[in-house]
Structure 1
């Protein structure tokens, strides 16, 4: 068994590693004899490409083809590059126009909202003014009714303490009436 090819040193003999690509498709037959009987020659025998070396060669060819594609892309016709730039520029201008349109729309919306809010504010202020006027009128009406009630009291039917109190209230009521009439007539 020691002479079997499996147990021989791979660095020596027909099973030594060959550089990738060599020996592919070649027949390991010695054609140098005159007898025309094909016999393998261990010294010149080349091994066929194995699975790993075939994969390596295929990977290498893919790398070079990819490299050629990348180099080809780098040297594109400048018209194509210019066309791409112009297309990009047009799209960029279109985007800027659209953003400007949106900005104008937002500005108009903001102005409309501000106008709406201003009108709501003026309406609320008007409501408050009306409510104050109503409150003041009710207050004046109550004061007027109170003054009329105080003036309608018969001082002769009251006790002396009540008479003094109601007499002072009647005098204040007269002063209020005179002041109100003065305000109505104006300066």
Structure 2
């Protein structure tokens, strides 16, 4: 199994990074091949609505997405991890989402089949400093449509409120263990048995 993960926080070694690392540890120990991309460390610009992908399904912007598209295509599972800033995903994560436009064109305009003939699975890991009841509603919709554009089904995620100070995730009673167990389950169990919070909205 190939798992591609995206870490969307600019704080390397921070809460989002630690949560994702726990997932990665569980998945690797269960036998998966896992790659981690720090979005803060790569160059991905936003979509510029040039329309060049409309006939080819390929983006013409000359940045690091050129190397990331094939990795997305070849993966079995994609994990996106992002903190919540002002009730939204980070700008680094948003750039990744916007640049899925080329794959959306491939799927819905050009009617191309999924790469390698398979549908991928998508997971979202997120945390925020506030404790708002609806903190993760909007971002889940964004992430779900990102996954859909890259031929992946959004399965759900893990979400934690009230996590603000650096390394505060270590003080949470279950978060890191939850992520570790999820990483193992993704390799060993069918998606319906993954310990996720499912998105109930249509």
Whichever structure has more strand as a proportion of its residues is 2
Name which structure has the greater RCO, CA cutoff 8 Å, separation 6+: 2
**TM-score, structure 1 length as denominator?**
0.17
**TM-score, structure 2 length as denominator?**
0.16
Whichever structure has more helix as a proportion of its residues is 1
